[in-house]
Chain A
């Protein structure tokens, strides 16, 4: 197990912050940075660079390594790994680290990292041990040992009341809790827990119908409960939720046995579970693929001419009672496109980004069964432009879920108070619609 460290590069490929690399050669991180920058420079599409790059070692030691990298906002995060390590381990750690940074700073950008470099350093030290073993990554525990930059913190330091050993929490020492994801001795006046369900429909559709469609759901939770509550949560229709994966706190065997979520929640925000929604109708049929209907239809017509092209696309909502809160349609027109001229139907707007050659059509609040159209033409410096084979449609529907998931019951043991529970569902979609 050896994630040798973390290097954060800014857009230009220069390192902003990196962990100590104390057990390796001093040139080791540089070697990785160079490998990545070379790979990026030699690839026409930056996002097409392989996520795991092979880094040959020196001739003398013959120790080869690999460089796992992830683009995140305007920075790129590298994790050099050596030996028989799972690259997914590196990626999982990078993603966890990114979440921690976002949790601490709100957004992740080169500027915020520079401004808070001391905090980032402390986080690096706490999360990744120098032999490459991840340490404390639970936000609950980290906040005890690395103070997030906050106004209060600044005031404290100015008035001289700084320091963690005497900064609140009374007599509760960090890490005294036997449960690694939960602080001990929490106290709230209002004991509440919220569950936010987000279901994302991912589909590929085309003139011949829907080729592939899948709904993935996620239950985010925000817990503000005192003490050590032991919760048991059941849903109304758990049989339709398949391939579920859970936060560390969930007792997996309970789910296997009776589809109930039994857990002691972490404090604050966390993702409780993720699942795939398998609609009931498809179970009886022999067709194995899940088919939740795509809630709109798109009628695209694209004509390509020698020096450009024209298109018309009309979008019709198939929802009968609800409305779309937002729809964005994106279409790549091909390299060297310019002179885009479109007419969008009332209430919608379009824009063209000449850098990415993408046209973007924004539709706000499409009513049930409503139809909108966008017509336009473009010129191209290349003969017979090659636009994308598909329109990409993303949308939001608030207070709706494909699976109509509901909480059946939330029981609590271990504490005496009665918690307030909140529940909210939201739906999104990401559809490739081929023409």
Chain B
């Protein structure tokens, strides 16, 4: 490329040779040269200097050569519009060529050039092409209008292209109809995104009939466009909703997966307008087989199908209850497919299929991939919590797995056992010794914390609990914060249960935690415990040993309103990410605003308000959870830490100005802590002095806070269950 200046053809080098060939008198030599120019262009070489030479070859009978020249023009139109102007005449001439392919090519290319100056010349030929005799030209021209709108909306409006497009919906050729619908939808969304209030394209009943007819006759891509348009249509009455559903259902049998998903989406939306329970159920039952069929496709398609099945199952559990075996993992499935299958298997678990499920999960727990093994073990725990009848079998499988002594399996199993203990308190105490026997092998914080929680919770049943906890107290400063927090709580629990043997231990751990520990969370919690123990041991007992509601697996891992949103966005990116489109598209095609408008207009059973609060709650909770490194599923610690760290939120709630979704959470914890009538049992001897370094001011805050939290939670608040936080964290994990 040396010696290349300006736009003058170089005198030597590759480009010079090309230039000579482009002006050759032999046709095939010229064509070959064009190909070489395109090849250079692809690898990023600057061949813009050859512009005039290439342009000379534009007028040719050879369609292939014409296409290549057009390709070259499109590439340089953006950077060098003044050169492309030279080609305008040829374009306009080509748009009237007797060959429809040339006409279509010219109009398509002009739309792609995206150069302001060319656009003005586009309107006349486009006008003609929209009325062309040949359907191929018409369907190309229809899309061109959408491109024009993207560049200069006013041109589309001034030239009446929009009205022309609307007329073309009645075109006899189904492909023209499909492309017209695609173009109109694009224009509509672009105008909505730009903030215009006027709906440019609304489908009315007569259009609907045309769409339903064209649906069966056009290509797969056309069908997707029509189905998406149908999903936007608002049916006038229930009969029409039913009619649409009936006409769309056959599309479930299309070979192309995206048609199937678009059809499911359209039906999900129109199904809301149908009141007949029987009809709805039949529709939902028909959705499952085509989705399952997609599982025989390549893995990436399987994955998208699985994500959508997952969503469908949350909305309609029981759809695939007999088909669990379809989701059994093959050894060679990619990890992302396996993980998704695992989630669905747990969703489908019931008391009838728990046995095959467990033997399958046990099989997975012996595989090589550590992540997958852990998730399998976790799934066993979820199955145990979900199905009471099968819990014992799940525990036995976990014990088998612990016996393998594979480090990460044992650790995950311990974590899972903790959840089982929370769900079925004091049912499986017999296995505690087995768990404790593995104490030395645990090196992950979560597993350690879980085991410590178990020891603390069952301190009065474990003879050597003080010895076991003593090990952790000795190494207190070397442990991670979650383990420290859990050690602290468990030692206090032990003390409240067996005061006589553990006085020294509790004194030691409180001392270390308040004096040496650099985590404010650990230190504050230690202060609160200390203060509680020293002022009113009875209250301490009521708070720390309070009865906690057992956990349960949420049927959905997104909130109901969000789920409703997602289901209506099925077959979009949103459904794959399980997040509403607004959160990751931004102000794109359908931003949050337009979604709200839609919701408002269509007076759904889910008021838009509610949906958006949930969405907002999800987003805010994410932010909060981001820097909250206390695992929120530690029940023993929640009452104390959450209140101490979130007083301002509780105060907001009283003032009635709260916008923080976590308020509700806090209020629950407040209830837990303070609503409990405080009995006065035989209190442990008060051996504590005041905690050393606490400022009086601080103390006061802490305690008034505790009171506030309790007082601030009127019982009629319907708050989301504590798992909410966990749910949103799951969602977070997607990105």
Chain A residues packing against B (C-beta within 8 Å): 1-2, 17, 20, 22-23, 45, 47-52, 54, 57, 62-64, 66, 68-70, 81-89, 91-93, 95, 117-118, 121-122, 125, 129-131, 133-135, 137-138, 145, 147, 157-158, 160, 162-166, 173-176, 178, 180-181, 200, 202, 204, 206, 208, 211-212, 214, 216, 242-248, 251-253, 255-256, 271, 273-274, 276, 288-289, 332, 334, 386, 388-390, 392, 432, 434
Contact B112 A130 (CB under 8 A): yes
Question: Nearest 7 pairs between A and B by C-beta?
Answer: A51-B300, A175-B136, A252-B250, A163-B62, A288-B322, A48-B335, A212-B325
Complex contacts, B100 vs chain A, CB 8 Å? 173-175
Q: Which residues between 140 and 159 of chain B lie within 8 Å of chain A, taking CB atoms?
A: 140, 143, 146-147, 150
B278 at the interface (CB under 8 A from A): no
Do B258 and A63 touch across chains, with their CB atoms under 8 A apart? no
> Taking the complex as formed, is B134 at the interface, i.e. its CB lies under 8 A from any CB of chain A?
yes
In the assembled complex, the Cα of A83 lies from the Cα of B146 at a distance in Å of 17
Given the complex, which residues of A lie within 8 Å of B304, measured CB to CB? 51-52, 86-88, 91
Is B511 on the interface with A (CB-CB < 8 A)? no
- B619: Cβ under 8 A from any A Cβ: no
Knowing A117-B38, A145-B101, say if A84 contacts B219 (CB, 8 Å).
no
Chain B CB count within 10 A is highest, among A180, A214, A252, for: A180
Could you tell me the distance in whole angstroms from the C-beta of B396 to the nearest C-beta in chain A? 17
In the complex the two chains form, is B99's CB within 8 Å of A165's CB?
A: yes
Stretch at the interface among B11-19, B428-436, B541-549, B585-593: B585-593
B441, CB-defined interface residue at 8 Å: no
B28 x A157 contact (CB < 8 A): yes
B179 touches A133 (CB 8 A): yes
Within 8 Å of chain A (Cβ to Cβ): is B489? Answer: no
29 contacting pairs across A/B (C-beta < 8 A): A22-B78, A47-B334, A70-B298, A84-B581, A86-B224, A86-B571, A88-B258, A88-B301, A92-B256, A93-B258, A122-B67, A122-B71, A125-B67, A160-B27, A160-B28, A162-B28, A164-B62, A174-B101, A175-B134, A175-B135, A175-B136, A181-B219, A204-B330, A212-B325, A245-B254, A247-B255, A252-B253, A388-B331, A390-B331
Taken together as a complex, chains A and B put the C-alpha atoms of A69 and B301 apart, in Å, by: 11
Chain B neighbourhood of A162, CB < 8 A: 27-28, 31, 62, 64
Q: Are B290 and A23 in contact (CB under 8 A)?
A: no
How far does the alpha carbon of A271 sit from the alpha carbon of B366 in the complex, in Å?
A: 40
* Minimal beta-carbon separation of A139 from chain B (angstroms): 12
CB proximity of B148 to chain A, nearest CB, Å: 10
- Chain B residues with CB under 8 Å of A208's CB are 359
Assess A180 versus B219: contact at CB under 8 Å? Given A88-B304, A289-B325: yes
Which positions 251-270 of chain B face chain A at CB distance < 8 Å? 251, 253-258, 260-262
Assembled-state Cα–Cα distance A157/B31 (Å) = 10
**Contact A64 B586, CB 8 Å, known A70-B300, A160-B28:** yes
- A86 lies within 8 A of B573 (CB): yes
- Interface residue total, chain B, C-beta cutoff 8 A: 112
Q: Mark B339-377, 1 if CB is under 8 A from A, else 0.
A: 000000000000000001001100100111000000000
Contact A87 B576, beta carbon cutoff 8 Å: yes
Tell whether, in the assembled complex, residue B112 and residue A252 are in contact, meaning their CB atoms are under 8 Å apart. Answer: no
**B interface: dominant SS:** helix
B688 at the interface (CB under 8 A from A): no
Whether the pair B64, A246 counts as a contact (CB closer than 8 A) is no
| Cβ-based interface call for B326 (8 A) | yes
Known: A164-B64, A173-B99. A84 touches B569 (CB 8 A): yes
Residues of chain B within 8 A of A200, CB atoms compared: 296
Q: Given the complex, which residues of B lie within 8 Å of A175, measured CB to CB?
A: 100-101, 134-136
Which residues on A sit within 8 Å (CB–CB) of B684?
none
Beta-carbon nearest neighbor of B584 in chain A:
A64
Interface assignment of B612: CB less than 8 Å from any CB of chain A: no
- What is the minimal beta-carbon distance from A15 to any residue of chain B, in angstroms? 9
User: Which residues in chain B, 392-448, are within 8 Å of chain A measured between CB atoms?
Assistant: none
Question: If A125-B71, A243-B290, A289-B325 touch, does A88 touch B331 (CB 8 Å cutoff)?
Answer: no
Q: Which B188-235 residues have C-beta < 8 A from chain A?
A: 216-225, 228
B residues in contact with A137, CB < 8 Å: 219-221
Output the least CB separation between A36 and chain B (Å). 13
Expressed in whole angstroms, the Cα–Cα distance for A118 and B62 within the complex equals 14
A173 adjacent to B134 (CB under 8 Å):
yes
Given the complex of chains A and B, what is the CA–CA distance between A158 and B32 in angstroms? 11
Q: Considering only CB atoms, which chain A residue lies closest to B34 in the complex?
A: A118
A104 to chain B, nearest CB (A): 14
List A contacts of B82 (CB < 8 A).
none
Q: Which of B65, B78, B255, B573 contacts A85 (CB 8 A)?
A: B573
A84-B574 contact in complex given A70-B300, A289-B325, C-beta closer than 8 Å: yes
Question: Do A45 and B255 touch (CB < 8 A)?
Answer: no
Q: Which residues of B contact A243 (CB under 8 A)?
A: 289-290, 292-293
Residues of chain A within 8 A (CB-CB) of B367 are 389
Set A88, A334, A432: member contacting B330, Cβ < 8 A: A432
Greatest chain A CB density within 10 A among B74, B224, B258, B335 is at B258
A52–B573 Cα distance when bound, in Å, is: 9
Give the CA-CA distance A388 to B290 in the complex, in Å: 31
Name the CB-closest residue of B to A147. Answer: B64
Q: Which residues of B contact A173 (CB under 8 A)?
A: 99-101, 134
Tell me the nearest residue of chain B to A72, going by C-beta. Answer: B298
Knowing A20-B74, A288-B322, say if A48 contacts B334 (CB, 8 Å): yes
How far apart are the CA atoms of A288 and B326 in the complex, in Å?
A: 11
A86 near B42 (CB under 8 angstroms)?
no
Contacts of A246 in B (CB 8 A): 253-255
B21 contacts the other chain (CB 8 A): no
Q: Does B174 contact A (CB under 8 A)?
A: yes
Q: Are B293 and A138 in contact (CB under 8 A)?
A: no
**Whole-angstrom CA separation of A174 from B173 in the bound complex:** 15
A368 to nearest B CB, angstroms? Answer: 28
- Pick from A62, A87, A117: contact of B586, CB below 8 A: A62
Closest B residue to A129 by CB, please name it. Answer: B143
Any A CB within 8 A of the CB of B182? yes
Taking CB atoms, residues of chain A closer than 8 Å to B182 are 1, 133
User: Which of chain B's residues have a CB closer than 8 A to the CB of A85?
Assistant: 572-573
Q: Does B735 contact A (CB under 8 A)?
A: yes
Q: B40 to nearest A CB, angstroms? A: 11
With the chains together, A137 CA to B221 CA distance in Å?
9
Inter-chain CA distance A56–B544, complex, in Å, is 45
**What separation, in Å, do the CA atoms of A70 and B31 have in the docked complex?**
33
Given the known interface contacts A130-B111, A130-B112, A176-B134, the answer about A255 and B296 at a Cβ–Cβ threshold of 8 Å is: no
Are B42 and A212 in touch, CB under 8 angstroms? Answer: no
**Cβ of B735 and Cβ of A118 under 8 Å apart?**
no
Q: Is B68 an interface residue (CB 8 A)?
A: yes
Shortest beta-carbon distance, A345 to chain B, in Å? Answer: 25
A128 to B182, CA, bound (A): 13
CA distance A100 to B146 in the complex (A): 27
By a CB distance below 8 angstroms, the chain B residues around A276 are: 293
A62 CA to B186 CA, complexed, in Å:
20
How far apart sit A62 and B136, CA to CA, in the bound complex (Å)?
Answer: 37
* B124 within 8 Å of A (CB atoms): no
Q: How far is the CB of A290 from chain B (nearest CB, A)?
A: 10
- Known contacts A84-B569, A165-B99, A118 near B35 by CB under 8 Å: yes
Chain B 296-307, CB-CB to A under 8 Å as 1, else 0, gives 101111011100
Residues 548-601 of B at the A interface (beta carbon under 8 Å): 569, 571-574, 576-577, 581, 584-590
Per the bound structure, the CA–CA distance linking A87 and B305 in Å amounts to 10
CA separation between A137 and B368, bound complex, in Å? 42
Complex Cα distance, B63 from A87, in Å, reads 34
**Which chain A residue has the least Cβ–Cβ distance from B260?**
A245
Q: Find the B residue at minimum CB distance from A122.
A: B67
Q: Are B290 and A245 in touch, CB under 8 angstroms?
A: yes
Bound complex: CA A289 to CA B572 (Å): 31
A117 to B360, CA, bound (A): 48
Bound-state Cα–Cα, A273 to B220, Å: 14
A244 partner residues in chain B, CB cutoff 8 A = 253
Q: Note all chain B residues with C-beta closer than 8 A to A202.
A: 296
Q: Which of B60, B64, B363 contacts A434 (CB 8 A)?
A: B363
